Amino acid sequence: MSNPTILITGTSSGLGQKTALHFAEQGWNVAATMRTPERDTMLRGHDRIAVIPLDVTDVDSVRAGVAAAIERFGRIDVVVNNAGVGAYGPLELAEEATIDWQFAVNVRGPINVIRAMLPHFRANRAGTFVNVSSYMGLTSAVPTGSLYNMSKFALEGLTEGLSYELRPFGIRLRLIESGGFKGNSFLDNMVFSRAGDGGDYAAVITNVERRFAEVDETRLDDAQTIVDAIHAAATREDARFRTVIGADGNALMAMRNSMPIEDYLDTIAAQFGL
């Protein structure tokens, strides 16, 4: 059998880039898709990787990117919906465009990619979608994170809901609920709405920003731990649907599951002086 092929979105940095390199090193063909391939210096030139333009928010770009990947490799076995952005800050202070952007990349993006891929997976009677969510897709953990929460909760619902109708075609769905990892570029790319000093929200903004600034990198998992979880989700034969990965996420979910929601919300709020 020829080598399997994986298509990954958002491979210009962070987890997507590391996942692309990992699968190529494991002998897979990799369709490494990104919005701005001209900026790539890490993936091009690798003999198992094809760098392909694909903006997940643009349906035409998604269709063209998927078609180019199928044309290049003949068959795609796994798709990793990795591209994602973070819009933080009080909801009231967010620009309309920021709200739309959060939804467009993290929710509409995977919808666009899944819809473009389905004819191919259906024809093959096989295929796996690995959707990169977050523990913020299962529970809230940070005040002013409502938009990001919304996007990952939506991805969770999309993935669960789709699992029924795609079952007859042998198409699998998997979720990765990761937390932060060492060398994180996500916080650098996040948009934090504050509208000046934040007005009535200034105190909570200060608390949240302090929490982000004080993240102790040494406590975080290596990115490879998350990449390994993606690999396991992409290849495992058993039915495991969700993987909560990382010390932070597992501790938080243990707390979330140990108490009534009202107590949990009080506990998180108190951590931020609310």
Question: Using CB under 6 A, which of 74, 170, 189, 261 touches ligand NAP?
Answer: 189
135 catalytic? Reply is no
Q: How far apart are CA 163 and CA 128, in angstroms?
A: 11
Tokens for 130, please give them: 């690995």
CA 165 to chain centre: 22
Residue 21 engages ligand NAP in binding (rule: CB under 6 A): no
Stretch that binds ligand NAP, among 13-21, 139-147, 159-167, 196-204 (CB under 6 A): 13-21
**Closest to ligand NAP by CB, 71 or 217:** 217
Please state, as a whole number, how many other Cβ atoms lie within 10 Å of the Cβ of residue 190: 14
65 part of the interface to ligand NAP, by CB under 6 A: no
Q: Which residues contact 119 (CB under 8 A, 6 or more apart)?
A: none
Helix (H) or strand (E) holding 70: helix 59-73
Beta strands in 35-161, from DSSP E residues, in sequence order: 49-53, 78-81, 87-88, 127-132
Interface characters, 193-222, with ligand NAP (x: CB under 6 A) = ------------------------------
Structure tokens at 174: 């998997």
Binding segment for ligand NAP (CB under 6 A), chosen from 24-32, 164-172, 173-181, 204-212, is: 173-181
Is position 14 an interface residue for ligand NAP (rule: CB under 6 A)? yes
Neighbours of 205 (CB within 10 A): 22
Q: Which of 185, 207, 225, 250 binds ligand NAP (CB under 6 A)?
A: 185
Q: Which of 133, 146, 151, 178 is catalytic?
A: 133
242 — phi, psi (to 5°)? -115, 145
Q: Find the shortest distance in angstroms from Cβ 270 to ligand NAP.
A: 23
| Catalytic residue IDs | 12, 133, 148, 152
Query: Where on the chain is the footprint of ligand NAP (CB under 6 A)?
Result: 9-10, 12-16, 34-36, 55-57, 82-85, 105, 132, 134, 178-180, 184-186, 189
